Structure 1
Amino acid sequence: MIARLLHRPTVRLIGGVRALALSLTLSFGLGATSAALAAPEILHWTAPTGARVHFVESRALPLVDVQISFAAGSALDAADKAGLASMTHALLDAGAGELDEQTIADRKADLGIQLSGGTDNDRVSLSLRSLSSAAELDAAIALVADLLARPSFPEAVLERERSRAVAALREALTKPATLAARQFTASLYTDHPYGRQSTPESLAALTRADLVGFHRKHYGANRATVAIVGDLDRAAAERIAVRLTERLPATEPATPLPDPAPGGASILRIPHPAAQAHILVGQLGMTREDPDYFPLLVGNYILGGGGFVSRLTTEVREKRGFAYSVYSFLAPQQVAGPFQIGLQTRGGQTEEALDVVRDTLAQFIAEGPTADELQAARDNLVNGFGLRLDSNAKLLDYVSMIGFYGLALDWLDRYPREVEAVTAEAVREAWQRRIRPEQLITVIAGGDGDRNDVPPPAAGAEPPQ
């Protein structure tokens, strides 16, 4: 699906905040007219601090949305400190300078602001939504600037959050869905930074000194991308970008990640007493600036990203009833992100379901889409694009993505044109180039509870981690 394709960072509400009273949206237009509407103009400059800034002026509502992203994602974790990037980000609002956790929470509530953020392989982000009135916005920016520049990472809060994270991970590791996802990632990114995943041991090993060091090394203005959307002019946006980044530590430029090496085909089975088998099939996919981006995007919609109108749903669910849901997605990142097909099915019919998935994928790669499939995919992606831009918050995510990955400023305008220009031949050739049966990884977790040939686990046995 398109939301997966954009690979937005996981959003987490930081602390207790008083939500703004209304769900406010911009009027960008819906339906077939969306392709004809011009996307908002994105202004770009480099702040005196070295931060890259992308700004869209939007006067429709008295709101300002800001997202600051750093090249400080989980791919920068050391192997024995996996989880460090996420923990550093999570504790930004646990204390800053003379402000403790409760004072920060009270100040957010008094200002009526929203703070959220997330961590992925490539970046961490912190987002702010505030009223655009001078007093509220000025105080909100001052608070966020303190959180970014002077986090104190209190030992007591770290101990609390570290314990929670370890407990949550131990619980997750009892579930076949988690086991399958972690094994798929580990197999796809063997010996690559994208393959590093936190463990109870790596989380328990994190210290305050680790968080302080990670922040000092990676949260520099020269690694920052500031995206601003809302009710203000460029001069005000320039001042905000400087205030957010002027006190950040000096850091070395980010080092580009190596390209992951494709591996050979493999099938990995993880024993688990669950009756449902969790199945993942895939390989390396595409980068954010991949030349095959749009043919792969359109093709994925047809294959498994289009929900109930996709081929996989038709073959696996509608015709045979092997699964309630089956999907495919591509997650472009700085270097090749995953292409993945996923489904759940009864353990006893795992092989039959897998055969259908493989046959459907092979036929799609060999033949490409039909004319009707192609037109329906293009229409849906283009006509639905306006809904992806119908609020400041949604637009902010796109502007931040464009800025962080250095995409063209007219990317939002180009998107519908590029989708409409995709041909069946382009889809077929791109998928034949990029998706190779000899590289497909298959992970199956669980299903043992629905198979007569598998003995029950021994008493006290734990699933593999």
Structure 2
Amino acid sequence: MRIRVLSFILLLFCNSLWAAAKIEHWQTAQGSRVYYVQTEGLPMVDIHVVFDAGSARDFKQFGISSLTASLLDTGAGKWNADEIAKRLESVGAQFSAASSTDLATLSLRTLTEPALFSKALDTMQVILTDPLFNKADVSRDQKRTLAMLKQTEESPGDLAGIAFSNALYGDHPYAHPTEGIIKTVAALTPKDLKAFYKKYYVAANAIVVIVGDVSKQQAEQTAEKLLTGLPVGQKPDALPDVVMPTKATEQHIEFPSSQTHVLVGLPGNYRKDPDYFPLYVGNHILGGSGLVSKLFDEIREKRGLAYSASSSFSPLLKQGPFTIGLQTRNDQTPQALEVLNKTLNDFISNGPTPAELTAAKQNIVGGFAMRFDTNKELANYVAMIGFYDLPLDYLDTFQKNIENVTIAEITDAFKRRINPQLLQTVTVGQATTKSAK
């Protein structure tokens, strides 16, 4: 009884958090979208400025998005990297910039006391609107990136990931690593980075997210001030659609390791996919819930073929990857793959049991609110909602959408979206007599 009461209290608490995340939305004078959530209790604010400027916009210059983002705070306006760091440190603010597959994000966390907030915001505005891309700074970060890329050649897991993306996406912009490859990164110049910045870091391509203890009026002023100095520009063209593989493939990369890295999958779903919630819940049961998933039970618990086995959907603007992954002893690779494929095929054919569905829903709903129980985490979710143009009540309706998922919907979605005859399989490890092709 005490457990049921506690669960009920936690559920009420979660619902109150969702209801509290009231997202307000408007556009700046330059046409940038703004998403704002007022929170109280801590005199802090988290600010994100998001651009459709991720690695999918690299085209042939693989890695240019990532290198551009990493260099923004190495010199801007009249300040060098040390001076920027000192300005932020003097007011207790934290700044970062990074690029992922779809987007580039500049983030600021600062106190809301007027003098501290003003200095932090001024600093971010200069970083955003007047980065220098000095030759020396570019050369230093370029060398650092190249050293990191060189290390990936010594990592079977990284090699597997690169080969897997290429197998899934071919010539699509999602195929290459976010950080690029050695050949393309080595060829980048300050002129290239400035051109990329000028094309994509424009007001028409910007989304501003503000979450914290500031009024709406302050949020409006903050958004306008941040983007002052950015040209209006224009949004980039839509990304091409993902083309599904036409047949299954198996690729083995020889590597002197005692374990073989295994990746199996297909292009999966996208953020606004009508099958998003059935696939989300179904994957939680299949391999997304860790120690209690079907893949973990069949591969680890029953047969001891791997330390862990999991699956995931990674939705993007277009179809992100559906991935099943594990590591196994080299000589066990064929057996592990056999069990993996059988488990997936059985799940596609039969779907989950009622008990599995109930447990999955309770687990997902019960833990969801804890994913955004800080301003920073909430800001990340709001940025996702804004960038992918999801409903503003996404967080409020999440529980209902999960609870409405049925076994029939899961089975139907997996049958339509995951075709075992098209699976792409990549293994990286040392082939043995039994596992060599």
TM-score where L is the length of structure 1: 0.89
Q: Secondary structure at the residue paired with 1:281?
A: strand
Change (3 A) 1:39 1:336: farther
The separation in 2 between residues aligned to 1:371 and 1:349, in whole angstroms, is: 33
The separation in 2 between residues aligned to 1:64 and 1:325, in whole angstroms, is: 38
Partner letter of residue 53 of structure 1? V
The separation in 1 between residues aligned to 2:130 and 2:98, in whole angstroms, is: 19
**Aligned ranges for residues 439-450 of structure 1 at < 5 Å?**
439-448=422-431
| Pair 1:330 & 2:313 matched | yes
Aligned to 1:412: 395
Identity %: 43
* Off by >4 Å, runs of 4+ in structure 1: 452-455
Cα distance, 1:250 vs structure 2: 3.3
Aligned to 1:364: 347
The separation in 1 between residues aligned to 2:370 and 2:271, in whole angstroms, is: 21
Q: Secondary structure at the residue paired with 1:383?
A: helix
Aligned to 1:257: 239
Question: Does the 8 Å CA contact 2:308/2:327 hold for their aligned counterparts?
Answer: yes
For structure 2, list consecutive stretches of 5 or more residues without a partner in the other structure.
Answer: 1-7
Aligned to 2:99: 119
Aligned to 1:62: 43
Aligned to 1:246: 228
Partner letter of residue 88 of structure 1? T
Question: Does the 8 Å CA contact 1:77/1:196 hold for their aligned counterparts?
Answer: no
| Pair 1:199 & 2:191 matched | no
Question: Does the 8 Å CA contact 1:302/1:373 hold for their aligned counterparts?
Answer: yes
| Pair 1:33 & 2:22 matched | no
The separation in 2 between residues aligned to 1:67 and 1:158, in whole angstroms, is: 24
Question: Does the 8 Å CA contact 2:72/2:97 hold for their aligned counterparts?
Answer: no
Cα distance, 1:454 vs structure 2: 8.7
The separation in 1 between residues aligned to 2:13 and 2:430, in whole angstroms, is: 45
The two structures, once aligned, show a CA RMSD in angstroms of: 1.4
Q: Secondary structure at the residue paired with 1:228?
A: strand
Partner letter of residue 62 of structure 1? P
Partner letter of residue 129 of structure 1? R
Partner letter of residue 32 of structure 1? L
For residue 165 of structure 2, the aligned residue among 185, 199, 214 is: 185
| Pair 1:233 & 2:215 matched | yes
Question: Does the 8 Å CA contact 1:131/1:137 hold for their aligned counterparts?
Answer: yes
Q: Quick one: higher RCO (CA 8 Å, sep 6+), 1 or 2?
A: 1
| Pair 1:354 & 2:337 matched | yes
The separation in 2 between residues aligned to 1:194 and 1:181, in whole angstroms, is: 12
The separation in 1 between residues aligned to 2:147 and 2:98, in whole angstroms, is: 20
Question: Does the 8 Å CA contact 1:39/1:412 hold for their aligned counterparts?
Answer: no
**Aligned ranges for residues 1-400 of structure 1 at < 5 Å?**
31-37=10-16, 38-79=19-60, 81-197=61-177, 198-263=180-245, 264-400=247-383
The separation in 2 between residues aligned to 1:138 and 1:49, in whole angstroms, is: 22
Q: Secondary structure at the residue paired with 1:194?
A: coil
Question: Does the 8 Å CA contact 1:55/1:234 hold for their aligned counterparts?
Answer: yes
TM-score where L is the length of structure 2: 0.95
The separation in 1 between residues aligned to 2:184 and 2:233, in whole angstroms, is: 25
* Between 309-318 and 112-121, the greater mean CA deviation after superposition: 112-121
Q: Secondary structure at the residue paired with 2:311?
A: strand
The separation in 2 between residues aligned to 1:454 and 1:300, in whole angstroms, is: 28
The separation in 2 between residues aligned to 1:315 and 1:185, in whole angstroms, is: 26
The separation in 1 between residues aligned to 2:269 and 2:164, in whole angstroms, is: 17
Question: Does the 8 Å CA contact 2:277/2:402 hold for their aligned counterparts?
Answer: yes
For residues 406-446 of structure 1, give each alpha carbon's deviation from its aligned partner in whole angstroms, at most 9, with x where no partner exists. 11110101111000111111111111111101221000001
Cα distance, 1:117 vs structure 2: 3.3
The separation in 1 between residues aligned to 2:118 and 2:207, in whole angstroms, is: 20
Q: Secondary structure at the residue paired with 1:170?
A: helix
Q: Secondary structure at the residue paired with 2:82?
A: helix
Partner letter of residue 382 of structure 1? V
The separation in 2 between residues aligned to 1:281 and 1:382, in whole angstroms, is: 28
Cα distance, 1:35 vs structure 2: 4.9
The separation in 2 between residues aligned to 1:173 and 1:410, in whole angstroms, is: 44
Q: Secondary structure at the residue paired with 2:132?
A: coil
Question: Does the 8 Å CA contact 2:121/2:226 hold for their aligned counterparts?
Answer: yes
Question: Does the 8 Å CA contact 2:331/2:434 hold for their aligned counterparts?
Answer: no
Cα distance, 1:32 vs structure 2: 3.0
Cα distance, 1:39 vs structure 2: 4.3
Question: Does the 8 Å CA contact 1:278/1:447 hold for their aligned counterparts?
Answer: no
The separation in 2 between residues aligned to 1:439 and 1:293, in whole angstroms, is: 20
The separation in 2 between residues aligned to 1:454 and 1:378, in whole angstroms, is: 39
Question: Does the 8 Å CA contact 1:303/1:312 hold for their aligned counterparts?
Answer: yes
Change (3 A) 1:161 1:414: same
For residues 371-395 of structure 1, give each alpha carbon's deviation from its aligned partner in whole angstroms, at most 9, with x where no partner exists. 1100000001111111012110111
Aligned to 1:462: none
Aligned to 2:5: none
Partner letter of residue 232 of structure 1? V
Cα distance, 1:78 vs structure 2: 2.6
The separation in 2 between residues aligned to 1:428 and 1:308, in whole angstroms, is: 22
Q: Secondary structure at the residue paired with 1:44?
A: strand
Q: Secondary structure at the residue paired with 2:174?
A: helix
Partner letter of residue 315 of structure 2? P
Question: Does the 8 Å CA contact 1:30/1:384 hold for their aligned counterparts?
Answer: no
Q: Secondary structure at the residue paired with 1:255?
A: coil
Cα distance, 1:184 vs structure 2: 0.4
Q: Secondary structure at the residue paired with 1:384?
A: helix
Q: Secondary structure at the residue paired with 1:91?
A: helix
Q: Secondary structure at the residue paired with 1:93?
A: helix
* Between 284-293 and 197-206, the greater mean CA deviation after superposition: 197-206
Question: Does the 8 Å CA contact 2:385/2:394 hold for their aligned counterparts?
Answer: yes
Cα distance, 1:118 vs structure 2: 2.3
Cα distance, 1:116 vs structure 2: 2.3
* Between 410-419 and 191-200, the greater mean CA deviation after superposition: 191-200
